Chains A and B, each alone.
Chain A
Amino acid sequence: MKKKLLSVLLAGAMVFSLTACGDGDSQSSSDSASSDKQTDTTESSSGDASGDTASSDTASGDTASDPTNGELVDGKFTETRKITVEVYNRENDGGSDPTNNKYTQYIKDKMMELHNVEVEFVSVPRWTEVEQINNLLAAGDAPDICLTYDFATIQTYANMGGVLNLSSYVDDYKDLLPNMWEWLGETNIYCDKDPENGNLWAIEGKLAVTNRINTFVRKDWLDTLGLSEPTTRQEFEDMLIAFRDNADKLLGADADKLIPFSVSYDVGWRAALLIESFIDPDISDYEFYVNGFDDRKLTQNGTKEAVRLLNKWYNDGLMWDDFALYGSGDTTEDDMMKAGYVGAFMHNWDYPYRNGEDSIQSNLERLVGPDAAYVAVDCFEDSKGTHNKFVNGTTGDRKIFFPSTNDEPLACMLYLDFISTPETIEYLQIGDEGITHNKLEDGAIEIVAATGDDIQNSGFNIDYTITCNGLKLVDPEVTAKSTAHSYSGIDTALIEKANTIANTDARPSKPVNVGEITSAEGQGEALAKKRDVLLDTAVSAPVADFDSVWDSAMADYMSSGGQAIADERAEKWKATFGDATMLP
């Protein structure tokens, strides 16, 4: 009996799956012509829908010159509206609930008071944000205000009809959004506007600080060995060799744990300054753009030679052997820095000083001694002897988009306006006086490490100030004075030095907008993973095999989509700018 039942079930499953396939065949072959029509109708109907809203807006605008149709009285909705906002969850030790704490309460209260809008936060894990948003969008549960760092991802959602077109909202409601327009300006608001059809799928948050990456070395080790800070690539290499050869002197019993230069699996980011120093400083905007799909500059001319040098260092025992074995978000490498085993590394311009008590620098002082310090150095010269650092302009940070399930676009635009207000940004960044900051005599703000409900889960609460990344106080003079004081427990001289070096020869990239690059759709993650694999295997290959490993992996990268994207970028550039090789 059991056997029979099982066989019936299995047979049923087979038949079911076969018919499913069969249906697919027959219908698609007979309907292949009409399927096109079907898409047409769905597209046009959605087009109509958006046209309707637009026309109703303009109509009401004509009659009462009020784009909101009388929904707002004194900036407040007559009936309470409800919106949901994405916030990253970083799961810090001792952190607070990112959806419910002192700062979210501040935002909620203010939004209710100013606009009669109820705000609810939806937390998304920081390190798997893209996957989480995919799932939420597919389930129709995405927050009304979403953000991500990758515009290609948003474009993919938009092509599926999953994203609201913001172009009419930013323009029609312009008078209602003075703070947003004031802070972001046309540069950031129109940054991703499609030049052909005017679609605007996302608004770019603004970088208040454009500093990007610095190189850090152990100052106390240099002193112990009687070395001065490296100023050239060669001196940097000599320093690494000195660290390696004097491991006994520097770490004693732990000598075998010493790592002269540390990178993570993300070599392109963690050796960025070295890689960029191999790029021709006179590179044209055209070449930089066409080869610039990969944000780690994998396909720029020069990167291969930079990685060849890393490969040499790796094989000379100057780098961390296990760098490729630990994934994103793993703290092993940070822990080694904190424990004092790492001689040099590259990272965000203020990386060792972030996170107050738990910063790398504070841990180092506790575990190794008060003299131990990571200090920023500027030692990767390019072919002209300058220290070119390719930094983003004010764009290139988080992109904010509204999924098509958002039925409160106006309330959400008002939220963006509120979150861009100078006073809001200042409060979220520095909190209350005496608790999270002190005023110094010269008027500068000094950040104090907080605990409990006052704790900021992200530096300057960047996760809440979604339109602003980097310290930005109401008074720009105070901001300038405060930067060095905004890292609690860290010697201000270290910050000032890091800040100066990060700004030396900084080269802001100019945003290029030539319309959608269709061949890039759905390729971002797959190619980024390929890039990491390529860089990791190339760095750790035997020196003699470097060329063959690099060339074959690069050929694979290009044929898996890299070449198609470069070609389309070249083509679209020509269509937009003609033969010009520099941006206007």
Chain B
Amino acid sequence: MKASKQNAVNTKAPVPQNKQSTGVYLKRYWQLYALLALPMLYLLVFKYIPMVYIQIAFKKYSIIQSVWEMPWAANNGFEYFIKAFNNKDFINALRNTLVLNLMDLIIGFPIPIIFALILNELVFKKFKRVVQTIAYMPHFLSWIIIYGLALQLFAPSTGFVNMILTGLGFETVPFLNDSSHWRWTYIFLGVWQSFGWNSIVYLAAIAGINSELYEAASVDGAGRFKKMWHITLPGIKSTIVVLLVMNLGNILGSGFDRPFALQNNLVMDVAEVLSTFIYKYGIKSLQFSMTTAVGLFQSLVCVIFLLLANWISRRLGERGIW
């Protein structure tokens, strides 16, 4: 709120004063705005206009009426929020989403940073490039394919890893069919799929650090780790913070394909997340109003987290994302 007020002041002030300069400004830069028009149109059509249908969270959904004709839901329109919070499966999905996303954040967030740091220390440029390419290849695989691979590797009786384990005289490990093991498999596959890709941003940030700093540090007798700790990490700190803020903003969000592809009936107690809950109750069971309410709740919590994380990062003297 504070931010928007500030903006209001900022934008209001200059306009009446320099009408002419605005005209000049627009005349000079209109091409840039024209370039922006298409993406803005995209956002408007695909992201903003559909928001009209957020109303169905407060209305009794009908498959044939327009959203304006649908009658309001009971309890001042909050019937479906009440219904959702009384639904054990929703509470369970909420918990699972939080747990999996937190695990993802704690384990998955530092790994690309570490990977970028290590990669940056490699001397052979060619080797570095090959490693980097291989590391970000999994990013282009669909989750359905990854689940297929996971089955081939981790299934209890036919999985390659388990066959090796039993061959060596160990017990089979229920990577996919036991709840606590499944969580780690889920995190591991997520990290494997994305760490290479996520490290690109950090590598770019590292490349932007002034090389004179390293030279000066070498002259002062700093070793590799000292340089990493005192130059590289502070150099990419603001990038890290921005990505952390964005990740926190997504703490209740989750993609659909990853949990949906990886879950199975034996681990539903930990694998059901909000996105799959919405699919099951909304798309498959036609409870569109309740699942829209869930989706709206999810978005609101995400916005709150985003604002909070941004506020904290600014308080800590970082730029934040705006």
* Residues in chain A within 8 A of chain B (CB atoms): 3-4, 6-8, 10-11, 14-17, 20-21, 23-25, 27-29, 31-32, 35-36, 38-39, 42, 130-131, 134-135, 137-138, 140, 153, 156-157, 160-162, 257, 265, 320-322, 324-327, 404-405, 522-526, 529, 532-533, 536-537, 540, 556, 559-560
Contact = CB atoms under 8 A, between A and B. Distances in A.
Given A24-B77, A160-B61, A526-B281, A533 B265 contact: yes
A134 B51 contact: no
B286 A153 contact: yes
Interface string B278-322: 001101111100000000100110010000000000000000011
For B51, B58, B61, which residue has the most chain A Cβ atoms within 10 angstroms? Answer: B58
B174 to A, nearest CB: 9
* Most chain A CB atoms below 10 A, which of B3, B4, B63, B89: B63
Given A39-B71, A130-B284, A324-B264, A404 B89 contact: no
B72 A35 contact: yes
Given A7-B3, A31-B72, A32-B72, A24 B266 contact: no
Interface string B115-134: 00000000000000000000
B19 interface: no
Interface in B88-104: 88-89
A54 to B, nearest CB: 20
SS class of chain A's interface: helix, strand, loop or mixed? helix
A325 B7 contact: no
Nearest to A529: B280
Given A137-B63, A162-B63, A325-B264, A28 B76 contact: yes
B89 A17 contact: no
A29 B76 contact: yes
Contacts of A320: 157
A536 B265 contact: yes
Contacts of A21: 296
B34 to A, nearest CB: 15
Interface in B63-77: 63-65, 69, 71-74, 76-77
B30 interface: no
A321 B303 contact: no
A533 B156 contact: no
Contacts of B72: 24, 27-28, 31-32, 35
Given A4-B10, A11-B7, A560-B88, A523 B285 contact: yes
Contacts of B281: 522, 526
Interface of B: 3-4, 7, 10-11, 48, 51, 54-55, 57-58, 60-65, 69, 71-74, 76-77, 87-89, 151, 155-158, 176-177, 264-266, 268, 280-281, 283-287, 296, 299-300, 303, 321-322
Contacts of B158: 257, 322
A556 B177 contact: no
Contacts of B76: 25, 28-29, 32
13 contacts: A3-B322, A17-B51, A156-B286, A160-B61, A161-B63, A162-B63, A322-B157, A324-B177, A405-B64, A525-B285, A526-B89, A536-B265, A536-B266
Contacts, number: 144
Contacts of A156: 286
Contact of A161 (B54, B62, B74, B77): B62
A522 B287 contact: yes
A25 B61 contact: no
B3 A162 contact: no
The residue in A23, A135, A533 that gathers the most chain B C-beta atoms within 10 A of its C-beta is A533
B200 to A, nearest CB: 21
Nearest to B157: A321
B168 to A, nearest CB: 15
A38 B73 CA distance: 12
Contacts of B51: 16-17, 20
Given A16-B51, A135-B283, A524-B285, 16 more contacts: A10-B3, A11-B7, A20-B51, A21-B296, A25-B76, A35-B72, A157-B286, A322-B151, A322-B155, A322-B156, A324-B265, A325-B176, A326-B151, A523-B285, A525-B280, A537-B265
